[in-house]
Amino acid sequence: MKHAKLLDCTLRDGAYLIDKKFGNENITGIINGLKKAHIDFIEIGFFQNEGFGEGKTVFRNSQDAKRFIPKDKGESKFTVLADYSRYSVENLDECKGDSIDAIRECFFKNERNDAIEACKVIKQKGYTLFIQPVDILGYSDIELIEFLNQVNTIEPYCLSIVDTFGSMYKEDLERVFEIINHNLTPTCRIGFHSHNNMQMSNALSQEFLRMTLGKREVVVDGTVAGMGRGAGNTPTELIAQYMVDKLHYSYDIDALLDIIDDYIENIRTKCSWGYSTPYFVAGCYSAHVNNVTYLKKKNSIRSKDIRYILNKIGAVPRKRYDYDLLEETYMEYVSSEVDDSNAIKRLSDVLADRNVVIVAPGISVQKQKEEIKSYISDKKAAVISINGIYDGIASDFAYVSNAKRYETFGKTLVESGIPVIVTSNIDNKYNAEYVISFKRLIKCGWIHVDNSGLMLLRLLDLFNVKSIAIAGLDGYGFSDNYAKGEMAFANSDENPIELNSEIQSMLTDYINTRKSECSISFITDTRFQI
């Protein structure tokens, strides 16, 4: 008898990436593909009290979910996840066998006593019960054993080891499994649900299957192509292939590959997931991926900065996500105080009553180079370039407020002989001539508070310049955004429409609140208005 079953939760865990809206055709196609692949459990989404909508994998109860359940289920059983804080079992109907077969009840440690009562109701109504405690590593050994005693009174179908933050090593999995295996009723299977923050998800899933052989019947989770929030999950096709090759199961790998080709690759054009350095940092600190997603939107942030901030906010807050706390900690981190009065005076002596041209990094700097040069010549303007020097356009100053840009281009800029202006959030290891307080130039209220163009405009507002003309502040499209190709790493996973909207909002606020009344105009084509 085979000791393991495979549960695919693409339509649930993957749903976080797309506001749970796969679309009816995609939902049906993915379900049919998983059924064809002979996946044992197919999780089609969530039971919630609200958030329903056409084409979404969110359901009120089993009869609501029934429209996506094939009349012939084949070898598969169908599940949903019910988050204790988002679903009341009062909305749950009786299991009739023609829709959802199983419910996985998910909850945080502080909810476990109340969630156990909800689990009892789920089982009483005839559903196969999975218990999914969030962040199993967050339980002490004593807490885990006490919790297992509660679970044993219910005798669920499966209790899962959930590596919520992708922070497990092999030794952690072995320790937790042995505690659970020793104390859990023999009638209950043990599940494993992992995330790929540490590039360990597939390997740990394989190890879980190996270590449990002969000890316990188990269920292992995966998602097609590893689709899931942040670093994603164990890829269903990889763990299925392992089970076929090493354990002699009969999953249809071609059917899984068809799902990827027919559905997942198209979805991947709209969102992204998978291992990355910031998500590795989140795994190191057992932090919710939303913390990393928020911090990554800071233009100047580096992976070690994320590491510092997650460490700074503490173990409990980072398991959830408090954006106000993140913003406060980020601002505290980058706002190193400097006495910039001398730098301000020296810049004011040079720039007061001058026409100034800002050269931002947009691709229009290449395309409209002659127009820029002509404007500079006609106005006898002082030129300040952002983050670099652009071919054919002479700069009087280079301005950098992005630590990653300074790391890449700072040495070249300083050695060029052009005076370089940096902000105090940057390690000035190349000895830029002017250091300006970062805190002086930012304004809270937006995600991208450290946008270089807006910060430079606020700096110029201190100098009573005669006029400001802007080149290269094009706004973002889906490709070819930068005059220098090596700059293209920034904002690569941002939605350009949302990003442009926020920049426009900051630009409008700047125009309405600035102290100076100097004229401001664009030289090159732009998506923005002033």
527 part of a folded domain: no
The total number of structural domains in the chain stands at: 3
pLDDT at 462: 96
Average pLDDT (167-184) is 97
116 part of a folded domain: yes
339 part of a folded domain: no
Residue 334 has pLDDT above 80, yes or no: no
pLDDT at 370: 95
Residue 423 has pLDDT above 90, yes or no: yes
Whether residue 159 sits in one domain with residue 42: yes
147 part of a folded domain: yes
Whether residue 303 sits in one domain with residue 247: no
Residue 262 has pLDDT above 80, yes or no: yes
Q: What are the pLDDT digits (tens) for 7-45?
A: 999 999 999 999 999 999 999 999 999 999 999 999 999
Asked if 263 and 30 touch (Cβ cutoff 8 Å), the reply is yes
Average pLDDT over the chain reads 93
| Residue that is last in its domain, among 268, 291, 324 | 268
Whether residue 427 sits in one domain with residue 320: no
Whether residue 293 sits in one domain with residue 255: no
395 part of a folded domain: yes
Q: What is the total residue count of the chain?
A: 530
| Residue that is last in its domain, among 247, 268, 289 | 268
- Rounded CA gap, 137 and 150, in Å? 18
Ranges 259-263, 337-341, 351-355, 483-487: which has the least confidence:
483-487
Predicted structure pTM score: 0.71
Using DSSP's 3-state secondary structure scheme, residue 223 falls into strand
Query: Residues of 63-102 as b/e, b for ≥16 C-beta within 10 angstroms?
Result: ebbeebbeeeeeebbbbbbbbbeebebeebeebeeebbbb
515 part of a folded domain: yes
What are the phi and psi torsion angles at 8 (to 5°)? Answer: -100, 130
Q: For residue 443, what is the domain's CATH number?
A: 3.90.1480.10
pLDDT band at 490 (very low <50, low <70, confident <90, very high): very low
Q: Which residue matches tokens 């937006």?
A: 446
pLDDT band at 314 (very low <50, low <70, confident <90, very high): confident
Average pLDDT (199-215) is 97
Domain range for residue 113? 4-268
Q: For residue 91, what is the domain's CATH number?
A: 3.20.20.70
Does 358 or 482 have the greater pLDDT score? 358
Whether residue 186 sits in one domain with residue 91: yes
Whether residue 318 sits in one domain with residue 261: no
Does 129 or 290 have the greater pLDDT score? 129
Q: What are the pLDDT digits (tens) for 357-396?
A: 999 999 999 899 999 999 999 999 999 999 888 888 999 9
Whether residue 405 sits in one domain with residue 349: yes
Q: What are the pLDDT digits (tens) for 508-519?
A: 999 999 999 899
Write the CA distances from 407 to 258, 401, 410, 427, 436, integer angstroms.
43, 11, 6, 9, 17
pLDDT at 489: 52
pLDDT at 442: 83
530 part of a folded domain: no
- Rounded CA gap, 206 and 239, in Å? 7
- Rounded CA gap, 223 and 272, in Å? 14
Ranges 178-182, 269-273, 284-288, 415-419: which has the least confidence:
284-288
The DSSP output letter for 191 is E
Residue 452 has pLDDT above 70, yes or no: yes
Residue 399 has pLDDT above 80, yes or no: yes
Whether residue 493 sits in one domain with residue 351: yes
Whether residue 308 sits in one domain with residue 240: no
Average pLDDT (468-477) is 93
Whether residue 153 sits in one domain with residue 67: yes
| Residue that is last in its domain, among 217, 235, 268 | 268
Average pLDDT (330-352) is 89
Whether residue 119 sits in one domain with residue 244: yes
- Most confident listed range (160-164, 399-403, 404-408): 160-164
Give percent of the chain above pLDDT 90: 76
Helix (H) or strand (E) holding 44: strand 41-47
449 part of a folded domain: yes
Whether residue 287 sits in one domain with residue 190: no
**R_g (Cα) of the chain, nearest Å:** 28
Average pLDDT (205-234) is 96
- Rounded CA gap, 457 and 470, in Å? 10
